[in-house]
Structure 1
Amino acid sequence: MSKPELEFHRPDAPWTTPPGAAPGVQEQTLAEDPATGARTALVRWAPGTDTSAQGVTRHGFWEEVHLLSGALHDLTLDTTFTAGMYACRPPGMPHGPWTSEDGVTMLVITYPDPVGRRAAP
């Protein structure tokens, strides 16, 4: 199975709070493959979102993030990333925690590691 074939349309999936997400985080799934975990989503953080309580994040899949609007501040790096910036993270790469003073919207694409180098969650 793979992601569905979709021609241009207006996504109508609801905005939901992902399990374990910090308060203020919501996502709208655009396409996904439940068999592999590959997915594309819009993710938005409300103004004032803070993921400090979750600490540094690592996961066992590839993640690409393109900031569409707003900004994220990485507390570990003490660096702010703004609209138009992009990240590509391999499995196990540490990132965050984050804050977003004014909110942020991002396109997030995740997919399994093709060579099976799964990192510990």
Structure 2
Amino acid sequence: MKAEHEFFAVDQVPWTYAGNGITQRVLSEGPEDNLTRIARWAPGTTTDEVIRHEYFEEVYLLEGSLTDLTLRKTFSAGQYAARRPGMPHGPYSTEEGCTMLEIRHPAG
């Protein structure tokens, strides 16, 4: 189970490096892939592989745009995705960079 939080200023949570040109503000986390974060992809960030994971994932694009290279589609601020465990997605690239709210839930 995630920790309980009352409203707090998100800008007081430090950005940490998550790898591959991505920084994150982890807002809440718990065991078994239970995570809420804001992820910021730097301009020019590209991933190389199709992604599959064991958790349910929700993503809401807050700023910028993200291109799914497999689908050859670009998604922009205001768009939302919900992915079941094992659902293939990506690889991705972003020319201008993007910021997203990502929520992960354990499978099952």
Common topology (TM > 0.5) = yes
1:70 aligns with 2:64: yes
State the 1:100 CA deviation: 0.5
| Matching of residues 51-90 of structure 1 within 5 Å | 51-52=47-48, 55-90=49-84
Matched to 1:42, the amino acid is I
| Matching of residues 98-117 of structure 1 within 5 Å | 98-114=92-108
| Matching of residues 1-121 of structure 1 within 5 Å | 2-11=1-10, 12-18=12-18, 21-22=19-20, 24-33=21-30, 35-52=31-48, 55-114=49-108
Q: Please, what TM-score do these two structures have when normalized by structure 2?
A: 0.93
Matched residue of 1:99: which SS? strand
Sequence identity of aligned pairs in percent? Answer: 50
Matched to 1:17, the amino acid is Y
More strand by share: 2
State the 1:36 CA deviation: 2.9
State the 1:95 CA deviation: 0.4
Matched to 1:81, the amino acid is F
Matched residue of 2:17: which SS? coil
The runs of at least 4 consecutive aligned structure 1 residues that moved more than 6 Å come to: none
Q: Give the unaligned 5+ runs of structure 2.
A: none
Query: Residue by residue, what CA displacement relative to the aligned partner does 1:46-68 show, whole Å, maximum 9, x if unpaired?
Result: 1111112xx10000110000000
